[in-house]
């Protein structure tokens, strides 16, 4: 028989991997949710591993598991489960989980919406330097959401994340320094932060920086630099950048004037529903500037802007309906759009609406309503409304007849150089209606009206001259010269 040979092994501790035996770490690896989303791992195996680690109290696994449930990455989307795991990790001090939990409370996803709880968790993460939490916390203080509004605290958190290179925070800081919110207004510092954000490609910051160069705030005024930054934003499809760039081409500021380029950029912004661009584009088609004149297309863009409540578009649309330009003439539609603009305080719309009520066009004739709208426009120095309002008081239409009020409004229009009002005011002084009779002042106003080509004023001047001596006529003529030379600021009364 062969002798059995015994081998004695020394007790040597070898790593399990050396023998080909899987280690615990190799058996249970919890990969990030990103790896799951991009299908870089076995989904079922990874979920089992993450659950095992999370249940053992591993904060990172809990946070990753929360993210997986939040996005439905490798699991059925379950916001309540996401909140559960984010909470577990957040309570262990995991900054990413604290931020995510704060966001869940902010949105009311998987929990009852609770801004105060959102602030609590954002603070916990922000104090660990989490940039996203700092940014979000800045917004909460800026808006007063879940906390008492405090611009200074918003500045603190925006600064913390801006200094980490966050473009959104840099842009927010730029706006706060520009507006003097939470800090002393400082255009130079605003430019600094807008620049850092703009250089990272943030379109809103690029537009804001363009505006700073356009207005010369915090920098030397430079239209070319404004164009540069507007272009950067416009080429990203940012509607305000597109509109502002269109405006620069329209006016020839910082670039050679190019109406076709203006139309191009106005169109780009208008097609995104930007009301200012819709209005300007409508005006380009109305005038035939940079495009073939087309009233129907002007109507299209004015309507788009008007339906967003853009007062100038409402007025222009009303005007086109009143005149039948690009549409069938429709006084009722004109009244509709004039009213919309007038109620927003648009002076020309108020005047035109007064005319519609005065004449009974598109509405039942209503002198009281005419007086209402003439008054609104007259108080905004619309000389046509002032003149018409003077007529209403003179005739007692829509108001109790009041010659003094007529004189008031004729004077307001006359001092803006409106010849019809000057003639009528002269008549009031000649006849002593609403004012003491004064033939010299009557002659003055008739003479001024005549100088502007008003035939009635010329006729009335000559009639009054027949009642005056040559010396008084010369004096009255001197009054007229002084009145005109002072731009109607030093007219005899």
Query: Mean pLDDT lowest for which of 64-78, 151-165, 402-416?
Result: 64-78
pLDDT computed for residue 14 by the predictor: 29
The whole-number average pLDDT for the span 216-241 is 98
Residue 421 C-beta-side C-alpha neighbours within 13 Å: 23
Structure confidence at residue 33 as a pLDDT band (50, 70, 90): low
CA gap 405, 389 in Å, rounded: 9
In a domain, 289, yes or no: no
pLDDT computed for residue 74 by the predictor: 80
Choose among 61, 70, 58, 28: nearest CA to 45: 28
pLDDT computed for residue 94 by the predictor: 94
Structure confidence at residue 34 as a pLDDT band (50, 70, 90): low
Question: pTM, whole model, 2 decimals?
Answer: 0.84
Structure confidence at residue 200 as a pLDDT band (50, 70, 90): very high
In a domain, 309, yes or no: no
The answer to whether the CB of 136 falls within 8 A of the CB of 106 is yes
Is residue 179 scored above 60 in pLDDT? Answer: yes
The whole-number average pLDDT for the span 100-113 is 95
What does the pLDDT look like over 371-401, one tens digit per residue? 999 999 999 999 999 999 999 999 999 999 9
Give the single-character DSSP code of 166: -
Helices (H), 271-323: 275-287, 295-306, 311-323
pLDDT computed for residue 8 by the predictor: 30
More confident residue, 34 or 152: 152
The whole-number average pLDDT for the span 317-341 is 98
Give the gyration radius of the chain's Cα atoms.
Answer: 37
Is residue 327 scored above 90 in pLDDT? Answer: yes
What does the pLDDT look like over 286-313, one tens digit per residue? 999 999 999 999 999 999 999 999 999 9
In a domain, 84, yes or no: yes
In a domain, 60, yes or no: yes
Choose among 208, 269, 187: nearest CA to 236: 269
| DSSP per-residue letters across 88-138 | HHHTTT-HHHHHHHHHHHHHTSSS---HHHHHHHHHHHHTTT-HHHHHHHH
Is residue 403 scored above 50 in pLDDT? Answer: yes
Which structural domain range is residue 44 located in?
27-92
Q: CA end-to-end span of the chain, whole Å? A: 148
CA gap 473, 466 in Å, rounded: 9
Residue 251 C-beta-side C-alpha neighbours within 13 Å: 12
Query: Rounded to 10 degrees, what is the CA torsion of 258, 259, 261, 266?
Result: 140
pLDDT computed for residue 26 by the predictor: 40
Instruction: Please give the tally of structural domains in the chain.
Output: 1
Find the largest Cα–Cα distance for the chain: 165
pLDDT computed for residue 40 by the predictor: 59
CA gap 452, 73 in Å, rounded: 80
Query: Mean pLDDT lowest for which of 57-71, 153-167, 195-209?
Result: 57-71
The whole-number average pLDDT for the span 216-232 is 98
Is residue 19 scored above 60 in pLDDT? Answer: no
pLDDT computed for residue 108 by the predictor: 96
In a domain, 459, yes or no: no
Structure confidence at residue 53 as a pLDDT band (50, 70, 90): confident
The whole-number average pLDDT for the span 143-151 is 96
Is residue 20 scored above 60 in pLDDT? Answer: no
Neighbours of 440 (CB within 10 A): 18
Is residue 46 scored above 80 in pLDDT? Answer: no
In a domain, 317, yes or no: no
CA gap 281, 291 in Å, rounded: 10
In a domain, 49, yes or no: yes
What sign for the dihedral angle of Cα 72, 74, 80, 85?
Answer: negative
Angle between helices 439-451 and 455-465 (to 10 degrees): 150
- How long, in residues, is the chain? 493
98 Cβ neighbours under 8 A, 6+ residues apart: 89, 90, 121, 122, 124, 125, 128, 130, 133
Choose among 471, 468, 492, 467: nearest CA to 481: 492
In a domain, 361, yes or no: no
Q: What mean pLDDT is reported for the chain?
A: 91
What does the pLDDT look like over 428-460, one tens digit per residue? 999 999 999 999 999 999 999 999 999 999 999
What does the pLDDT look like over 124-136, one tens digit per residue? 999 999 999 999 9
Structure confidence at residue 229 as a pLDDT band (50, 70, 90): very high
The answer to whether the CB of 131 falls within 8 A of the CB of 163 is no
Query: Mean pLDDT lowest for which of 63-77, 327-341, 366-380?
Result: 63-77
Is residue 151 scored above 80 in pLDDT? Answer: yes
The answer to whether the CB of 97 falls within 8 A of the CB of 130 is no
More confident residue, 44 or 9: 44
Question: In this structure, what token pair is assigned to residue 426?
Answer: 């002269």
């Amino acid at each position: 028989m062969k002798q059995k040979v015994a081998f004695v092994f020394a007790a040597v501790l070898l790593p399990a991997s050396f023998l080909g035996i899987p280690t615990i770490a190799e058996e249970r690896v919890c990969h990030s949710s990103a790896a799951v989303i991009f299908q870089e791992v076995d989904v079922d195996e990874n979920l089992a591993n993450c659950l095992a680690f999370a249940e053992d109290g591993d904060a990172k696994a809990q946070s990753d598991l929360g993210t997986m449930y939040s996005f439905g990455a490798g699991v059925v989307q379950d916001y309540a489960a996401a909140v559960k795991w984010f909470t577990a990790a957040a309570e262990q001090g995991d900054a990413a989980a604290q931020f995510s939990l704060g966001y869940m409370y902010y949105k009311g996803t998987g929990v009852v919406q609770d801004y105060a709880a959102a602030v609590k968790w954002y603070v916990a993460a922000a104090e660990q330097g989490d940039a996203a939490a700092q940014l979000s916390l800045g917004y909460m203080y800026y808006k007063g959401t879940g906390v008492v509004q405090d611009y200074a605290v918003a500045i603190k958190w925006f600064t913390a994340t801006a200094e980490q290179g966050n473009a959104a925070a840099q842009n927010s800081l730029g706006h706060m320094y520009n507006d003097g919110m939470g800090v002393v207004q400082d255009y130079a510092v605003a430019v600094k932060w807008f620049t850092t954000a703009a250089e990272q490609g943030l379109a809103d910051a690029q537009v804001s920086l363009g505006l700073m160069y356009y207005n010369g705030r915090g920098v030397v005024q430079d239209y070319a630099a404004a164009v540069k930054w507007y272009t950067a934003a416009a080429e990203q499809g940012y509607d305000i950048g597109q509109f502002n760039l269109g405006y620069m081409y329209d006016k020839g500021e910082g670039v050679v004037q190019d109406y076709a380029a203006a139309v191009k950029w106005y169109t780009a912004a208008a097609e995104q529903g930007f009301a200012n661009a819709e209005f300007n584009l409508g005006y380009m088609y109305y005038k035939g500037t940079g495009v073939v004149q087309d009233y129907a297309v002007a109507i299209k863009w004015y309507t788009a802007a008007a339906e967003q409540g853009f007062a100038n578009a409402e007025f222009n649309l009303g005007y086109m309906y009143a005149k039948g330009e690009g549409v069938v003439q429709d006084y009722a539609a004109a009244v509709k759009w004039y009213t919309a603009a007038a109620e927003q305080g648009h002076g020309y719309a108020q005047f035109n609406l007064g005319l519609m009520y005065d004449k009974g066009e598109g509405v039942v004739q209503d002198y009281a309503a005419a007086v209402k709208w003439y008054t609104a426009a007259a108080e905004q120095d619309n000389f046509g409304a002032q003149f018409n309002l003077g007529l209403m008081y003179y005739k007692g239409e829509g108001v109790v007849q009041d010659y003094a009020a007529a004189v008031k409004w004729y004077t307001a229009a006359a001092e803006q150089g409106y010849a019809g009002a000057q003639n009528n005011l002269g008549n009031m002084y000649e006849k002593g209606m609403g004012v003491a009779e004064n033939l010299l002042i009557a002659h003055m106003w008739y003479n001024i009206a005549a100088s502007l080509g008003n035939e009635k004023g010329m006729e009335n001047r000559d009639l009054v001259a027949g009642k005056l001596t040559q010396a008084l006529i010369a004096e009255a003529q001197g009054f007229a010269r002084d009145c005109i030379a002072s731009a109607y600021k030093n007219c005899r009364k």
